[in-house]
């Protein structure tokens, strides 16, 4: 009889644990319902030597805004397919092979953003023509309200063009918005830059995977 009672007690405890799931959530920052395709090899536009922040994707403003405090664990790029001649041109013009960093920004007045977290550099040329996800060996801590951008020290074919007017991204360029050779990418934590250059009818084709910090459930109210 004692064994039966003990078994029932353990079963009830187990059910109690299972009924209280953790409240962490998974988000894909920058994902939108409508699909777009990165340019290249035809009509080939690329992002060069800057930090790119998507500020509008259709009806969604700042689509990579962090909704809850947590950690970025991966990011995804949709990359255009290029000919060997195009790759050689971009490599020789913009300082080397295609490379990117994922960058977490915290906003300040007058469209100034500060780098608060950043990955290492990823070489992406082997993945041209694909959609590739990069898991992070060290996840990035983010706070609610931060935004996630893509830093490009050289160039990257991660740009969809000729979209409706309600699409646009900003670059960490204080002025000279058509001087694509200038190095304005934010490549160090603590760096601040003004995002004064807006490029409409285009999207930077990246997303970031966020796991929010779990919040312990509130205990039930005590019976009086």
Give the tens place of pLDDT for each residue, 49-58. Answer: 999 999 999 9
CA distance 96 to 94: 6
Name every residue whose Cβ is closer than 8 Å to that of residue 120 and which is 6 or more positions away in sequence.
Answer: 101
Give 131-189 pLDDT, tens digit per residue: 999 999 999 999 999 999 999 999 999 999 999 999 999 999 988 899 999 999 999 99
Indicate the pLDDT class of residue 223, thresholds 50, 70 and 90: confident
Give 96-147 pLDDT, tens digit per residue: 999 999 999 999 999 999 999 999 999 999 999 999 999 999 999 999 999 9
DSSP letter at 218 equals P
Task: Please compute Rg for the chain using Cα positions.
Answer: 22
DSSP letter at 88 equals H
Q: Which 3-state string (H, E, C) describes 101-127? A: EEEEEEEEHHHEEEEEEECCCEECHHH
Indicate the pLDDT class of residue 6, thresholds 50, 70 and 90: very low
For the chain, domains (ranges, CATH) are 22-211 (2.60.120)
**74 three-class SS:** strand
């Amino acid at each position: 009889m004692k064994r039966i009672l003990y078994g029932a007690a353990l079963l009830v405890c187990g059910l109690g644990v299972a009924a209280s799931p953790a409240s962490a959530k998974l988000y894909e920052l920058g994902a939108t319902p409508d699909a777009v395709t990165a340019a290249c090899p035809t009509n080939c536009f690329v992002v060069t030597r800057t930090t790119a922040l998507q500020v509008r994707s259709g009806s969604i403003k700042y689509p990579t805004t962090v909704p809850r405090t947590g950690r970025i664990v991966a990011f995804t790029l949709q990359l255009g397919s290029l000919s060997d001649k195009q790759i050689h041109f971009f490599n020789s013009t913009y300082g080397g092979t295609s490379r990117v960093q994922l960058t977490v920004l915290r906003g300040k007045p007058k469209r100034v953003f500060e780098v608060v977290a950043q990955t290492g550099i990823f070489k992406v040329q082997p993945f041209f023509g694909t959609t590739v996800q990069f898991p992070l060996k060290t996840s990035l801590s983010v706070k609610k309200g931060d935004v996630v951008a893509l830093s490009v020290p050289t160039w990257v074919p991660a740009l969809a063009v000729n979209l409706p007017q309600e699409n646009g991204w900003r670059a960490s360029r204080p002025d000279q918005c058509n001087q694509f050779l200038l190095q304005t990418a934010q490549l160090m934590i603590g760096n601040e830059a003004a995002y004064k250059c807006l490029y409409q009818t285009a999207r930077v084709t990246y997303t970031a995977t966020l796991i929010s910090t779990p919040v312990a459930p509130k205990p039930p109210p005590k019976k009086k």
